[in-house]
Amino acid sequence: MTEVLRYEVGSGTVLVEVDEDSYGVDRPARNEQGILDAGRRLEEALAAVRPAASAAVDALAELAPEEVEITFGIKLAGDAGAIIARNCGDAHFVVRMSWSGGPAMAEGEEE
């Protein structure tokens, strides 16, 4: 069964569907429509995963890829805020990096 959580966002609200037994969704207040109040702003909840995303990008930047793409799922979890969810099986992060075939030439160099 699922529950609906309400988060404040910007100048309004957003409703998020979560599993009834989700971590962090055990004691939020329910309004007259039966919607659970998350008790925090969406921006505040998402701030909890920002350090993990930043650390992953910083660690991979040392490999100097031309492009890097990191994909991860974020679950909203009431009082717990946001947590990094499993996606793609048991993976928490899916990473794609790419490099061109040869070294970049400095401006003005000839082949």
Total residues belonging to the chain: 111
Instruction: Say how far apart CA 13 and CA 77 lie, in whole Å.
Output: 16
* Count of domains for the chain: 1
* Structural domain contains residue 16: yes
Residues 91-100: pLDDT tens digits?
A: 567 788 888 8
- The verdict on residue 78 lying in a domain is yes
Residue 102's pLDDT is what?
Answer: 61
Residues 6 or more apart whose Cβ sits within 8 Å of residue 4: 15, 16, 17, 18, 34, 35, 36
Indicate whether 61 belongs to any domain.
yes
Tokens of 65: 């890829």
User: Is 47 a domain residue?
Assistant: yes
Instruction: Tell whether 41 is covered by a domain.
Output: yes
pLDDT at 23: 58
Please tell me the predicted confidence (pLDDT) of residue 48. 84
For residue 111, is it within any domain? no
The pLDDT value recorded for residue 98 is 86
Taking 70 as the pLDDT cut, the residues of the chain under it are: 20-29, 78, 87-92, 102-111
Q: Tell me, what's the pLDDT at 35?
A: 80
- The confidence score (pLDDT) of residue 10 equals 86
Domain with 29 in it: 2-98
